[in-house]
Amino acid sequence: MRKMILKAALAALLVSPAAVAVAADEVEVLHWWTSGGEAAALDVLKKKLESQGVTWKDMPVAGGGGEQAMTALRARVTAGNPPTAVQALGFDITDWANQGVLGDLNPVADKEGWDKVVPEALQKFSKHDGKWIAAPVNVHTTNWIWINKKALDAAGGKAPETWDELIAVLDKMKENGISPIGHGGQAWQDATIFDAVVLAEGTDFYKASMVDLDPAALNSDKMVGVFDKMAKLKEYVDADFSGRDWNLASAMVIEGKAGMQFMGDWAKGEFLKAGQKPGTDFVCVRFPGTQGAATFNADQFMMFKVGDDKLKAQEMMASDIMSPEFQSAFNVVKGSAPARTDVADTDFDDCGKKAIKDLAEANSNGKLFGSMAHGHANPAAVKNAMYDVITRHFNGEMDSKQAAQELADAVAAAKG
Amino acid sequence: MAQTQAEIVPVLTRRQSRAPKEVLQDWLPKLVLAPSFAIVLLFVYGFILFTVVLSFTGSKLLPDFSTWVGFSNYVRLFNHPNWLTSLKNLAIFASLYVIVCSVLGLGLAILLDQKIRAEGLIRPIYLYPMALSFIVTGVAWKWFLDPGIGLEHIVKDLGWESFSFRWIKDGQMAIYTIVIAAVWQSSGFVMAMFLAGLRGVDNEVIKAAQIDGASTVTIYRRIIIPLMRPVFLSAFVVLAHLAIKSYDLVVAMTDGGPGTSTWTPALFMQKFTFGRNEMGMGASSAIIMMMMIFSIIVPYLYSELRGERRT
């Protein structure tokens, strides 16, 4: 028996160099881009790596937002066998970095000068303690309004630029017999609108309340005003909004049953899929009062610490992700803006061009912030505590004054 | 296998008086059960212990045993509005679910027990919902109760314009829609349990009562239903622990909405552990849930085992 074990061990020793040689050119990628458009976008990267002789070991875990993917990742990391690269969002990356399990991309990043081209607000997540730990793939800005052009024309034809104009358009749409706002009553969707309303109160206020979590800003008259505006917007939502998925809300706008939707630019994909053209069938504008500023969320591939045998392939993948050609090709398909500011916008549609221009402008003016609703302004525990209050207020369970008070309390409790 | 024989051999030599086959028969069940016993010990009781320990740590994203926070997770848990909502919902859901299911199940079973025609056809129809997963039930009822596409829409199309049934969109009433769906799913199963109980009632007793001139209603009320006591108890235990664990149905129907009005403890546990990176608090909520289930199961097992010893 013992002899047999010895033999097996010897055999394994003899075989292992070959096994290492195979693994050297392989990346294992955990992600949740499984739906049609997303999978097609990811395929661009896969093809590119394969042309460089790197095998792509796919590990998709379906479920938008990536909650299931993160659960799967927990198991892999606890077992001491993390994948090469994992799709991740915002503070999830920071959380993992704090566990000390992420690699160091500085050799590639320094060589290719990532520091200069990636927006600073984004670097906050891609870097940890001065080390690049993740390669950003895209930037979605979230303070958009998507308006049905026909419905807008019937309501005066001018896209709203101030809060009062917005209310006027919404009133007109209501008179015209459609539900003015296409919205789905899920906590993150309520929070997406909330994000934009807070940002419209000024970037300083956004930073103080959502990023710095200043109790004085959270429970302030300004915040009560924000909640009042949320309650006002609620009046323009149809009665059956609760629980509706965001893409169904987009469909309402596309079909003309609803006038407009407040949503990040992934919504554009729904409009394009339905054969609509930006400018002629639908209009994309920033939420009134937020032109020049932007809230974002960004998909990144965080890179785990791997053995030296896999390092080469990992660095190759990171380098490919950051190449301008890939950033352009991927984001044209995905509907987002590139994660570096020096990518040509020639292949993008009008809304894409606007996204790239707005992003660069907000970045250079220091008015680009991580989106609270999408986990880029504060950690998951705080974000969800905010969700609770925002969604309960939006569903009429409390008044604005109480909501501001509870918001401050809930954040304090979640921080503890 | 070689090892097991080696263990058995000394036993054989020591006890000459017993035939080897008999000894093997003694040992075999224990040997066969040992692996599964060890697995259950580790993966059920071991991990319960693990969760207990976890609930006293400040674990966030991953288990972290270096931070010891005592009972603070439990304190935060019982100060959290979502947990209090979850408990309130559990109280409403569990009591209605258990009572309505038992009453409906018993009623259906009594009606089916009247030696009606085509019972073999009707029984599986009532049982069939149990074959569906709660996710399927949840999605089906979500659509059916949605005012825009479901029941309300259809009734309005049929001409009753003022008809309104929008509980699922109403934070005050949404929890009751979950009760409706859960009752629809489980009452057939409870019916089967009662039916089996009714078939087990001794015919002699009923005949004796009939000779004494008791009406059918009296026979059921005074004789048969009291005889169903053990079935009531079993049904209660099955339904109550299903209610405490209720997760998939809620996720499929409302995902805790509108707002946070239909959160349940199981939903709370999942969302806090995996969605909010509050593993310590998630673990403490799991422990509270386990204590609730134990408080139902343990007395039941105790009474069952005591009953066995008596016979």
Q: Answer whether residue B274 shows pLDDT above 60.
A: yes
Q: Is residue A4 part of a domain?
A: no
Q: Is residue A148 part of a domain?
A: yes
User: Which residue bears the tokens 């059960």?
Assistant: B33
pTM, rounded to two decimals: 0.80
How high is the pLDDT of residue A64?
65
Regarding whether A207 and A176 lie in a shared domain, the answer is yes
Number of domains chain A contains = 2
Query: Residues of chain A with pLDDT > 70: what percent?
Result: 94
* CA–CA dist B240, B263 (Å, integer): 17
Quick check: B88 contacting A, CB < 8 Å?
Answer: no
Query: Which residues, listed in sequence order, are joined to residue A242 by a DSSP beta bridge?
Result: A185
Among A117, A128, A186, A188, residue whose Cα is nearest residue A337: A117
User: Which residue bears the tokens 């609703």?
Assistant: A373
Residue B229 neighbours by CB under 8 Å, 6+ apart? none
Regarding whether A151 and A241 lie in a shared domain, the answer is yes
Strands A299-303 vs A258-262: parallel, antiparallel or unpaired:
unpaired
Closest alpha carbon within chain B to A410: B80
Q: Is residue A9 part of a domain?
A: no
Region A308-326 average pLDDT:
91
Q: Answer whether residue A12 shows pLDDT above 90.
A: no
Contact B166/A186, CB-based, under 8 Å? Answer: no
Structural domain ending residue among the three candidates A312, A339, A359: A359
CATH number, position A154: 3.40.190.10
Residue A197 neighbours by CB under 8 Å, 6+ apart? A226, A229, A230, A233, A287
Contact residues, chain B, for A397 at CB < 8 Å: 171, 259, 261
Among B93, B130, B135, residue whose Cα is nearest residue B252: B135
Contact B257/A396, CB-based, under 8 Å? Answer: no
B29 preceded by a cis bond (ω within 30 of 0): no
Regarding whether A396 and A282 lie in a shared domain, the answer is yes
CA distances from A268 to A31, A274, B28 (A): 22, 10, 67
How high is the pLDDT of residue B301?
85
Contact A395/B258, CB-based, under 8 Å? Answer: yes
Q: Is residue A364 part of a domain?
A: no
pLDDT band at A20 (very low <50, low <70, confident <90, very high): very low
Regarding whether A389 and A269 lie in a shared domain, the answer is yes
By residue range, what is the domain housing residue A273?
144-295+370-415
Closest alpha carbon within chain A to B165: A240
Closest alpha carbon within chain A to B61: A95
Quick check: B241 contacting A, CB < 8 Å?
Answer: no
How high is the pLDDT of residue A365?
92
Contact residues, chain A, for B278 at CB < 8 Å: 381
Regarding whether A321 and A198 lie in a shared domain, the answer is no
Contact B258/A185, CB-based, under 8 Å? Answer: yes
Q: Is residue A270 part of a domain?
A: yes
* CA–CA dist A242, A249 (Å, integer): 11
Q: Is residue A13 part of a domain?
A: no
Q: Answer whether residue B229 shows pLDDT above 70.
A: yes
Regarding whether A353 and A247 lie in a shared domain, the answer is no
Contact residues, chain A, for B275 at CB < 8 Å: 67, 380, 384
User: Which residue bears the tokens 């859960």?
Assistant: B182
Q: Answer whether residue B151 shows pLDDT above 70.
A: yes
Q: Answer whether residue B289 shows pLDDT above 70.
A: yes
How many C-beta atoms lie closer than 10 Å to residue B264's C-beta?
28
Chain A residues contacting B via beta carbons under 8 Å: 67, 70-71, 74, 77-78, 95-96, 98-99, 185-187, 239-240, 242-243, 379-381, 384, 388, 391-392, 394-397, 410, 413, 416
Contact residues, chain A, for B168 at CB < 8 Å: 242-243
Regarding whether A278 and A149 lie in a shared domain, the answer is yes
Contact A77/B142, CB-based, under 8 Å? Answer: no
Regarding whether A306 and A286 lie in a shared domain, the answer is no
pLDDT band at A13 (very low <50, low <70, confident <90, very high): very low
Region B193-217 average pLDDT:
89
pLDDT band at B170 (very low <50, low <70, confident <90, very high): confident
Q: Is residue A67 part of a domain?
A: yes
Quick check: B146 contacting A, CB < 8 Å?
Answer: yes
pLDDT band at A15 (very low <50, low <70, confident <90, very high): very low
Regarding whether A386 and A242 lie in a shared domain, the answer is yes
Amino acid at position A198, single letter = V
Region A139-156 average pLDDT:
94
Strands A179-181 vs A258-262: parallel, antiparallel or unpaired:
parallel
Regarding whether A111 and A186 lie in a shared domain, the answer is no
How high is the pLDDT of residue A122?
93
Region B206-232 average pLDDT:
88
Closest alpha carbon within chain B to A93: B61
Average pLDDT, chain A: 89
Regarding whether A275 and A392 lie in a shared domain, the answer is yes
Closest alpha carbon within chain B to A388: B260
How high is the pLDDT of residue A107?
92
Q: Is residue A46 part of a domain?
A: yes
pLDDT band at A162 (very low <50, low <70, confident <90, very high): very high
What is the interface size between A and B, counted as CB pairs within 8 Å?
A: 76
One-letter-per-residue 3-state SS of A33-95: CCCHHHHHHHHHHHHHHHHCCCEEEEEECCCHHHHHHHHHHHHHHHCCCCCCEEEEEHHHHHH
How high is the pLDDT of residue A146?
96
Closest alpha carbon within chain A to B146: A240
Regarding whether A346 and A239 lie in a shared domain, the answer is no
Q: Which long-range contacts (CB under 8 A, 24 or more apart) does A120-127 make?
A: A120/A363, A120/A366, A120/A368, A121/A296, A121/A363, A121/A368, A121/A369, A121/A370, A122/A296, A122/A298, A122/A339, A124/A370, A125/A90, A125/A91, A125/A93, A125/A94, A125/A298, A125/A300, A125/A370, A125/A376, A126/A93, A126/A300
Q: What is the ipTM of this complex?
A: 0.71
Q: Answer whether residue A239 shows pLDDT above 50.
A: yes
